[in-house]
Structure 1
Amino acid sequence: MLIHLAAALQLAATPPAPASYMTICAKSAAEARELARIRFIALDNDPSAQTDFESGEKARQEIERMRDALDAGTPLPSPYKGAAEYAAASRGNPDPVVSELLMRAARDAFSRTHLTAALRNESWAAGLSVRAKQYAYSSAGALECGLDADNTRWLKAQVATRGWFLKSVDGDRAAGAAWLLVQHADRDPAFQKAMLDLMAPLAATGDVERGAYALLWDRVAVREGRPQRHGTQGRCNGGRWLANPIEDEAQLEARRTAAGLPPMTAYQRRMDTLCPPSSAPTSR
């Protein structure tokens, strides 16, 4: 097995300032690639190791080229289309704060699409061995390791000065982008909980999507060790997605319908496609 991302990154418990945090991540990405290269060549007695390393390195470079294209506003193919749409909306928005919000959401979506590409054998992952895909995926993840923390810091500052991003004021896509950033602010659960409370009346009036509020409600509940209400949070195990405990399951479909979420059976099928064929328990 290749060296996992968590083992390759030895970050301090308290994140430093944004610039130095991203510098640490980039340094760790280079170190992770070198460790993987040594693992391939020096520790594996597999004659295909060099080939896998070279193809994995080419895939990593392709991910970096796509990241540059995203920043330039260039359309990207499936499965990165959603990230590119955020980037295009960013370039076309006259409000500099909303524009930055949309670009941050684009980079968030881009970073989380690598796993989808790997599982579906699409884009940079097409035709790669499992070992080569793991190398490319881990290397890309190491480079992006400071993204969530930086986005959380930025969003907290914006909410403190202007309040939450509203559908009626900032548009549907901006409101969705703000939710995406707080949904992934897992390093700051107190902030997630505070934003959940802030979003509650806005979801009731339509300024926040009910489904987005439901997803964050479940995420906060699971983090606090409580049953979720909408069945949106779970983990991969043995190639299947398993929902975390749900309160009053008899009313689950009614709550999902009220939140504008699809039936649980459809959601289960979709989430199953995001789980490796066989895996140790992994939160998603």
Structure 2
Amino acid sequence: MKYHLIGLVMAALGGFAAPSFAGEREDAASEEAAEESDDPFVKEVYSRVALEQYGRYAIAFTPEEAGQQAVGLGVELNPAQARNFQQRLFYSLMDVDAGNTAFLKQELAMRNGMWWTISEVGRDVSDKVWLMVQHADADRDFQREALSLMEPLVEQGEIQGASVAYLSDRIASAANRPQRFGTQGSCRPGRPWEANEIEAPADEVDLRRRAYGIDLPFADYQVQMDRICGEGH
């Protein structure tokens, strides 16, 4: 992880090609889980999700944060270089997400549109497939297709309801429509996490959350997201 970030810092300084996240090894837990499976798809899912989670860990929300990150790596950047470094972090993550989307679309086509169920791949892999779809923001059509395939599986216990709830909110928020479950919002420096508009009646959001297996009340979720925002800034 550290060596990849150093590579991006050097690229921001000029004279070096920016490295790809694809060279990073997955975390130990994911690596162990992948090794235990004989399924090439499962192995690939673990590897790809470890990669995208690493990229999200590394992302800087402002040039100032990017500059501080570089200092932690022993490199001083001027404001222009810090902006360059921040952009390189962001575009590296976009490349990872685009690759994950292409991978899932290709695999889904090979399965004739049959979504991966919990009984087939297990809950952990099912959750990781959802996570890649959740972050496929550059391809809303694919997100909508995935949602249409996942929704009927909730009642069968073959997809976690929370996965459908989060993806549904993601799609609605991107289309500037009210979200049903209050899962999507934004972090801004110096301000608490702010949820995107919630579908009326907003006071029933916890009923909708529980119906889809999200036990954490919305108020507690806000506190949790405030903390995450604070750690990120």
**TM-score, structure 1 length as denominator?**
0.63
Q: CA deviation at 1:277?
A: 8.2
Q: CA deviation at 1:29?
A: 5.0
2:212 is aligned with 1:259: yes
2:101 is aligned with 1:152: yes
CA change 1:148–1:69 in 2 (3 A) is: closer
Structure 2 unaligned regions, length at least 5 = 1-6
CA change 1:91–1:126 in 2 (3 A) is: farther
Partner of 1:249: 202
After superposition, give the CA deviation of every residue in 1:255-282 in whole Å (9 maximum; x if it has no partner).
1111222111221111112325898xxx
Aligned-partner Cα distance in 1 for 2:194–2:221: 11
Aligned-partner Cα distance in 2 for 1:145–1:252: 31
- Of the candidates 24, 27, 43, which is equivalent to residue 68 of structure 1? 24
Could you tell which deviates more after superposition, 255-264 or 135-144?
A: 135-144
**Equivalent residues of 1:114, 1:137 under 8 A apart:** no
Equivalent position SS for 2:228: coil
Aligned-partner Cα distance in 1 for 2:107–2:149: 14
**Equivalent residues of 1:32, 1:142 under 8 A apart:** no
Q: CA deviation at 1:207?
A: 0.8
Q: CA deviation at 1:171?
A: 0.7
Aligned-partner Cα distance in 1 for 2:101–2:32: 22
After superposition, give the CA deviation of every residue in 1:210-248 in whole Å (9 maximum; x if it has no partner).
111100000011112210000000112333110000012
Task: Quote the sequence identity (%).
Answer: 33
- Of the candidates 173, 197, 209, which is equivalent to residue 222 of structure 1? 173
Partner of 1:34: 13
Quick one: which amino acid aligns to residue 198 of structure 2? I
Aligned-partner Cα distance in 2 for 1:203–1:193: 16
2:145 is aligned with 1:194: yes
Quick one: which amino acid aligns to residue 221 of structure 2? Y
**Equivalent residues of 1:229, 1:252 under 8 A apart:** yes
Structure 1 unaligned regions, length at least 5 = 1-27, 38-60, 76-84, 280-284
**TM-score, structure 2 length as denominator?**
0.76
**Equivalent residues of 2:59, 2:90 under 8 A apart:** no
What is the root-mean-square deviation of aligned Cα atoms in Å? Answer: 3.6
Matches within 5 A, 1:80-99: 85-99=29-43
